[in-house]
Amino acid sequence: MGATRTPRGSWIEEGLRALAAGGPDAVRIEALAQSLGVSKGGFYGHFGNRDTLLTEMLDTWEREVAEAVIEQVESAGGDPRARLKRLFAIAAAADGPAMGVAAELTIRDWARRDESVAERLRRVDNRRMDYLRSLFGAFCPDQDDVEVRCMIVYSMRIGNHFIAADHGARSRAEVMELTRDWLLR
């Protein structure tokens, strides 16, 4: 009986973990193989080279942080406010190593130096913003109001991780909840 090959998805997941931890330079075949406890030879059975892996990692990230999240929100139904609440909960819980904020922030930094990554990030941002517009637009008749709410939500998601401010007697979680409630009125 032949040796079991490490699944393609395992290489991609481990690559995303390495990316989140150390940026694109940390995605090294030998290091990934070591983390997976396999030889690097199996890598070449799935990917022609490192660039192919990086592309597939970004494909996976894009699918998981945009389409898969939207599908998850939509599948449970409800009115637009209920779907927004579900989206906020999913986003708040999505802080795992591969698909969480660390990977997102690393990809955003990488996009500053790589135009193809920047194009992909723009596509993800536009897809997310379009989805937010569709939800807020269902109960906000003013398009300027819709755009402001979308920008606040998106800025909260990205910028929250860079803000070190205290909130007096309130915790950050409490302030985030107050902000989400305000956005849904």
In a domain, 3, yes or no: no
- Residue 74 confidence class, pLDDT cut points 50, 70, 90: very high
- φ, ψ of residue 144 to 5 degrees: the values are -65, -40
The predicted-structure confidence for 120-137, as pLDDT tens digits, reads as follows 999 999 999 999 999 999
Region 20-45: mean pLDDT is 93
Q: Within a domain: residue 2? A: no
Q: What is the mean pLDDT of residues 59-84?
A: 96
4 residue type, one letter: T
Instruction: Give the pLDDT of residue 99.
Output: 62
**Torsional sign, CA 34, 36, 42, 46:** negative
Where in the sequence is the domain holding 159, given as residue range(s)?
A: 8-183
Is position 1 within any domain? no
Taking CA atoms, 106 is separated from 17, 18, 37, 39, 173, in Å, by 11, 10, 25, 27, 23
Contact 53, 27 (CB under 8 A): yes
CB atoms inside a 10 Å sphere around CB 68: 14
The whole-model pTM stands at 0.90
Please give the tally of structural domains in the chain. Answer: 1
**What does residue 28 show for φ and ψ, rounded to 5 degrees?**
-120, 135
The percent of residues in the chain predicted with pLDDT above 90, rounded, is: 82
